[in-house]
């Protein structure tokens, strides 16, 4: 992207043009400083078209059936007149590379559906970078008219909390049988869920899936109580056969009603926006420090001292920040 007309790009995005959407996402993912100011300009223009999309976080261990579920669920929603965008937040999948190939075959119908847009994880980005750009990508696809946005994660790392902080509802996909330790899911992730779906409830696994759902229903009854006031639902589905998909959507719609009528949406979106502001500030301070040649020596020395256990991290951080801001004023 060498030269660009941000106004035209914003117009293209708002008109739902796929090429413009792809260019806009590439722009916000770029780490080039010129691109970053153009990206900020673009996002400001897009903020005139407020996001009305329902943002769904979807998580589950590798192999649980996320891609198959997205294909089935996405096709179902498209059939009901929705426009759906799928964004993946998983730095590890970009490293392994394998999942993208698998997804092409597992999301066959959705991948060619004009009312759907699938964006894989940008490669070579840290979790922080992916999470930051994913928030901006959500804004782009919302402005482009997609009214359901699914943000997918793998359920084994830290990206879940970041995704929960940028979505309206968090859906956890589970396998029949195994308890959550065996499913490779961290406890904290289970606690983020508003809806848990035990997938693969078909054939030989159907009974097991029902039992697993009952177990999770019990576990959630004990877990929640004081929380937000939403009672976590647990259902079964078969992404492969398409059963339980309509029920999952019905639950999401119930949640949405609750979310909007109780004022939770307004409160959560404000909290998320505030959190976003502060993480942008933290990121910018870091990037500014990293890009300042005059600080390189100090940073390197203190980094080594911290690594060697000679200087506490907090002390070194204060010195670096003091040095960075001192020379600004």
Ligand X SMILES: Nc1nc2c(ncn2[C@@H]2O[C@H](COP(=O)(O)OP(=O)(O)O)[C@@H](O)[C@H]2O)c(=O)[nH]1
| Chain residues in the site for ligand X (CB under 6 A) | 60, 62-68, 102, 106, 199-200, 202, 238-240
SS3 of 173, please?
A: strand
Q: How far is the CB of 17 from ligand X (least distance, A)?
A: 29
- 182 vs 277, which CB is nearer to ligand X? 182
How many binding residues for Mg ion (CB under 5 A)? 3
Edge-first strand listing for the sheet containing 233-236: 116-119, 84-88, 148-153, 54-59, 169-174, 195-198, 233-236
Tokens found for residue 119? 């964006």
Binds 64: which of Mg ion, ligand X, none (CB < 5-8 Å by kind): ligand X
Binding segment for Mg ion among 7-15, 60-68, 82-90, 188-196 (CB under 5 A)? Answer: 60-68
Q: Which residue is nearest to ligand X (CB)?
A: 65
**Cβ atoms of residues 237 and 248 within 8 Å:** yes
Binds 200: which of ligand X, Mg ion, none (CB < 5-8 Å by kind): ligand X
Tell me the longest C-alpha to C-alpha distance in the chain.
Answer: 69
The yes or no reply on residue 72 touching Mg ion (CB under 5 A) is no
- 67 vs 137, which CB is nearer to Mg ion? 67
Burial class of residue 2 in the structure, from the number of CB atoms within 10 Å of its CB (0-12 exposed, 13-18 middle, 19+ buried): exposed
Binds 199: which of ligand X, Mg ion, none (CB < 5-8 Å by kind): ligand X
Q: How far is the CB of 231 from Mg ion (least distance, A)?
A: 29
Residue 169 and residue 159: Cα distance in Å, rounded?
15
Binds 121: which of Mg ion, ligand X, none (CB < 5-8 Å by kind): none
- 130 vs 237, which CB is nearer to ligand X? 237
- 67 vs 183, which CB is nearer to Mg ion? 67
Count of alpha carbons within 13 Å of 288, Cβ hemisphere only?
13
Q: How far is the CB of 100 from Mg ion (least distance, A)?
A: 9
Binds 62: which of Mg ion, ligand X, none (CB < 5-8 Å by kind): ligand X
The yes or no reply on residue 175 touching Mg ion (CB under 5 A) is no
- 64 vs 205, which CB is nearer to Mg ion? 64
SS3 of 16, please?
A: coil
Q: How far is the CB of 130 from ligand X (least distance, A)?
A: 17
**Cβ atoms of residues 90 and 123 within 8 Å:** no
Instruction: Single out the residue of 150, 232, 246 nearest to residue 190, CA to CA.
Output: 232
Which residues inside 91-120 make contact with Mg ion, applying CB under 5 A? 99
- 106 vs 139, which CB is nearer to ligand X? 106
The yes or no reply on residue 67 touching Mg ion (CB under 5 A) is yes
Q: How far is the CB of 16 from ligand X (least distance, A)?
A: 27
DSSP-assigned letters across all residues of 98-165 = HHHHHHHHHTHHHHT-TTEEEEPPPTT--HHHHHHHHHHHHHHHHHTT--EEEEEE-SSSSHHHHHHT
Do the bridges between strand 116-119 and strand 54-59 make them parallel or antiparallel, or are there none, so unpaired? unpaired
Binds 15: which of ligand X, Mg ion, none (CB < 5-8 Å by kind): none
At a CB cut-off of 8 Å and minimum separation 6, what does 188 contact? 160, 161
Give residues in contact with Mg ion (CB under 5 A). Answer: 66-67, 99
């Amino acid at each position: 992207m060498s030269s660009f007309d941000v106004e035209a790009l914003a117009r293209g995005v708002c008109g739902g043009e796929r090429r413009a959407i792809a260019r806009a996402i590439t722009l916000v993912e770029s780490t080039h400083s010129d691109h970053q100011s153009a990206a900020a300009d673009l996002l400001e223009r897009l903020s005139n078209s407020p996001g009305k999309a329902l943002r769904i976080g979807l998580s589950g261990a590798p192999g649980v059936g996320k891609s198959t579920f997205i294909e089935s669920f996405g096709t179902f929603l498209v059939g009901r007149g929705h426009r759906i965008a799928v964004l993946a937040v998983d730095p590890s999948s970009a490293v392994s590379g394998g999942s993208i190939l698998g997804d092409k075959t597992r999301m066959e119908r959705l991948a060619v559906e004009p009312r759907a847009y699938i964006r894989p994880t940008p490669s070579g980005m840290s979790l922080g970078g992916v999470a930051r750009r994913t928030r901006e990508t959500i804004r782009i696809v919302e402005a482009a008219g997609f009214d359901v946005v699914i943000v997918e994660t793998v359920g084994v790392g830290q990206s879940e909390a970041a995704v929960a902080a940028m979505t309206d509802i968090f859906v956890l996909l589970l396998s029949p049988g195994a308890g959550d330790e065996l499913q490779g899911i961290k406890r904290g992730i289970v606690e983020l869920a508003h809806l848990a779906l035990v997938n693969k409830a078909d054939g030989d696994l159907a009974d097991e899936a029902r039992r697993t759902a009952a177990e999770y229903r019990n576990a959630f009854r004990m877990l929640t109580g004081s929380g937000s006031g939403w009672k976590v639902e647990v259902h079964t589905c078969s992404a492969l056969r398409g059963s339980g998909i309509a029920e999952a959507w019905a639950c999401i719609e119930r949640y949405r009603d609750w979310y909007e009528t109780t004022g939770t949406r307004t409160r959560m979106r404000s909290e998320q926006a505030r959190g976003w502001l502060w993480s942008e500030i933290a990121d910018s301070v870091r990037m500014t420090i990293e890009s300042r040649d005059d600080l390189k020596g100090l940073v390197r020395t203190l980094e080594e001292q911290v690594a060697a256990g000679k200087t506490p991290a907090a002390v070194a951080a204060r010195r670096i920040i003091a040095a960075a801001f001192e020379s600004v004023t």
